[in-house]
């Protein structure tokens, strides 16, 4: 049975309000949660950037749900620090935490002052980070000299069972590459044909573990309001790689999105006031074989979305619904 989760967007919502939202989501019937890990929002209109790892400790303590986070080790984060963070949460909350690892975006990573590498270098750096993190979680002392450097690192607090390290991908090629090392795959909503091709590439290359999908949605009681929410909050997020990878500041994103149309936003966000239409979209993702689907309402106010989807959408997607 597909697990339906709540996506907590640190770029858009103050962490205190986000904690209230995830508590409300659990009460409303959401099964799990995941969150972003950003230093910068995608637009000045979003206006937040709470620290995901502090928040995760509070959210795991406050709820009984499982949580995941999307992280980019290698530049802003040293892999040994990420291994320590993963290990500590895994030790405190066994079987309730997973981490998705990706190559990151310049908007978050440029803050170190280090050059932003080419995509192939970022992928090689991530692969080194994965090996370092796995070795540390296994209790090994790690020294490594490569695109990342580690000197005699050892984790003294570790979980009995290491949390899953999930591969983050938006392209077929990256999904295939993730099969080499990942315990699962996560991607974002896209046309069904593209999602099917990604799944097939991952599985055909030997990819193991669950399939996760993050789905951007915009819902409001009136269609015009749903469209306005999506346009206000998500029009800076319509750009395919490499643009979204390589822009550095909110000013850059706001400048390039100045002329984006509502129609283009609707290509990346499922926008509708019709809850039945949302059920239909989600049924298509379930049929593709996703094991966990995290719903991200792109508005900053979450309560109405949580109540509506908890009462009218999620029950229809479960057996007997």
- pLDDT digit string (tens) for the chain, length 321 residues: 899 999 999 999 999 999 999 999 999 999 999 999 999 999 999 999 999 999 999 999 999 999 999 999 999 999 999 999 999 999 999 999 999 999 999 999 999 999 999 999 999 999 999 999 999 999 999 999 999 999 999 999 999 999 999 999 999 999 999 999 999 999 999 999 999 999 999 999 999 999 999 999 999 999 999 999 999 999 999 998 898 999 999 999 999 999 999 999 999 999 999 999 999 999 999 999 999 999 999 999 999 999 999 999 999 999 877
Total tally of structural domains belonging to the chain: 1
Rounded to two decimals, the pTM is 0.95
Does 102 map to a domain? Answer: yes
Do residues 51 and 40 touch, judged by C-beta distance below 8 A?
Answer: no
Does 88 map to a domain? Answer: yes
Does 70 map to a domain? Answer: yes
- Between CA 262 and CA 15 the distance in angstroms is 28
171: domain CATH number is 3.20.20.30
Does 321 map to a domain? Answer: no
Alpha helix segments (H runs only) across the chain: 15-28, 52-62, 79-92, 106-109, 119-137, 172-178, 192-204, 223-234, 243-246, 250-256, 262-265, 275-288, 303-312, 314-317
Do residues 273 and 221 touch, judged by C-beta distance below 8 A?
Answer: yes
Residue 78 lies in domain: 3-316
- Between CA 32 and CA 151 the distance in angstroms is 36
């Amino acid at each position: 049975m597909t697990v339906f989760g709540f996506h907590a967007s640190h770029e858009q919502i103050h962490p205190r309000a986000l904690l209230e939202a995830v508590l409300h989501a659990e009460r409303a019937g959401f099964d799990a949660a995941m969150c972003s890990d950003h230093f910068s929002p995608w637009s000045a209109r979003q206006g937040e950037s709470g620290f995901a790892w502090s928040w995760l400790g509070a959210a795991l303590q406050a709820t009984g749900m499982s949580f995941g986070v999307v992280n980019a080790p290698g530049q802003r984060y040293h892999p040994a620090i990420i291994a320590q963070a993963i290990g500590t949460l895994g030790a405190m909350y066994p079987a309730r935490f997973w981490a998705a690892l990706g190559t990151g975006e310049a908007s978050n990573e440029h803050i170190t002052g280090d050059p932003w590498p080419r995509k192939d270098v970022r992928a090689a750096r991530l692969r080194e980070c994965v090996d370092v993190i796995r070795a540390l979680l296994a209790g090994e002392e790690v020294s490594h000299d490569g695109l990342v450097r580690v000197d005699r690192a050892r984790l003294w607090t570790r979980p009995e069972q290491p949390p899953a390290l999930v591969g983050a991908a938006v392209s077929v090629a990256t999904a295939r590459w993730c099969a080499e090392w990942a315990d699962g795959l996560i991607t974002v909503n896209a046309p069904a044909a593209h999602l099917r091709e990604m799944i097939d590439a991952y599985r055909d290359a030997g990819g193991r573990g669950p399939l996760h999908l993050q789905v951007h949605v915009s819902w409001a009681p009136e269609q015009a309001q749903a469209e306005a929410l999506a346009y206000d909050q998500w029009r800076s997020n319509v750009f395919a790689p490499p643009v979204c990878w390589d822009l550095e500041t909110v000013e850059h994103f706001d400048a390039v999105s100045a002329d984006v149309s509502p129609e283009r936003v609707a290509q990346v966000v499922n926008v509708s006031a019709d809850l039945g239409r949302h059920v239909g979209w989600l049924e298509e993702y379930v049929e593709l074989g996703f094991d966990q689907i995290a719903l991200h309402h792109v508005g900053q106010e979450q309560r109405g979305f949580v109540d509506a989807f908890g009462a009218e959408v999620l029950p229809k997607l479960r057996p007997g619904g």
